[in-house]
Amino acid sequence: MEADPPVSKRIDAHRADREPIIDVRGLCYRYPGAAQPTLRDLAFRIGEGEILGFLGPNGSGKSTTQRVLTGVLSGWSGEIRAFGESPPRLGAEFYNRIGVSFEFPNLYEKLTAEENLKLYARFFDGPTRPPSELLRELDLPVSDRRPAGQWSKGMRMRLVLARSLLNQPRLWFLDEPTTGQDPEHAVRIRELIRNRADQGTTVFLTTHNMVVAEELCDRVAFLFDGRIVALDTPQNLRLARPRGRAHVQARSEGRLELREFDLEDANEKRAFLDFVAAHQVETIHTQEPSLEQIFLDLTGRQLAAEPSGT
């Protein structure tokens, strides 16, 4: 019997049904001078405490969507509502409620880490978290007098994450948050994101990293050629496209055999039943499609095989 999912995941499955923190309808965007639009009629909602992953190859429009939602890009068409209002109507209050961590470590490289955080803290109207607390949370040294530009890329990326948490945002925009991290820190960052969502922070996450998407996202949107081609929970996306394959490990006369069968094929299905009847079965595993394979099925393109772009 399959074990129940963790409590947090059972809750997360319903978060998209709450009053949306972000509600996007008919969003289109064309860069000046471009022959074709980068975003084409996007529509999605993100509930309170939900992690929505935007998955797609480079050039698909992931970062452009984030830049539009955070106000970096103007000139878009459609409707965007955040916290129940249009972001322009919220004005400065919108930026007091959000945190943004882009993929590239845009910092004041001649300032120390604490100086960077203290400087950015002055941009917010409300209270902010102490720099030393954020540095410890991201496993960064406190009272390090080196300029931030002398830190490794991984450390600078974690400093950008720390900066995005200064104002304890209710809405957190993350672009490839584990870029440049070793495995230990990548795990810590994923745990941090999950914990923040469990505390009610809504997360809009752009990535082509399948590990991040599988472990973190309550729902994922597949973005291709500026359009959303699928939007659902990872589990529902997999169940909608069963592969019908079985991996069998069995013994016959003391010899171990490993076989794979396509249960969607009638001949293979009969061969599977004959094999199981004739052998001492040790394990049988069904194979669900990965998010990578689902994306490939939908678009005919690999997630990570595109040239650099938006």
C-alpha 114/C-alpha 191 separation (Å) is: 23
How many CB atoms sit inside 10 A of residue 139's CB?
13
Range of the domain at 251: 245-287
Instruction: Determine, yes or no, domain membership for 296.
Output: no
Instruction: List residues bridging with 260 in a β-sheet.
Output: 247
220 and 169 share one domain:
yes
207 and 263 share one domain:
no
196 and 264 share one domain:
no
pLDDT of residue 252: 81
78 and 210 share one domain:
yes
How many CB atoms sit inside 10 A of residue 284's CB?
13
pLDDT band, residue 102 (cuts 50/70/90) = confident
Instruction: Determine, yes or no, domain membership for 293.
Output: no
CA distances from 79 to 68, 94, 162, 277 (A): 11, 16, 31, 60
274 and 144 share one domain:
no
pLDDT in tens, 289-305: 778 888 888 877 666 54
CB 213 within 8 A of CB 220: yes
Number of structural domains found in the chain: 2
CB 120 within 8 A of CB 163: yes
DSSP strands (E only) in the chain:
20-29, 39-47, 51-55, 77-82, 98-101, 171-175, 202-207, 219-224, 227-232, 245-252, 255-262, 280-287
C-alpha 52/C-alpha 202 separation (Å) is: 8
Q: Which of 142-156, 197-211, 257-271, 282-296 has the lowest mean pLDDT?
A: 282-296
pLDDT of residue 117: 97
Among residues 176, 180, 190, 212, the alpha carbon closest in space to that of 291 is found at 212
171 and 275 share one domain:
no
Instruction: Determine, yes or no, domain membership for 93.
Output: yes
111 and 134 share one domain:
yes
44 and 179 share one domain:
yes
pLDDT in tens, 42-84: 999 999 999 999 998 888 899 999 999 999 999 999 999 999 9
Instruction: Determine, yes or no, domain membership for 154.
Output: yes
Instruction: Determine, yes or no, domain membership for 109.
Output: yes
249 and 176 share one domain:
no
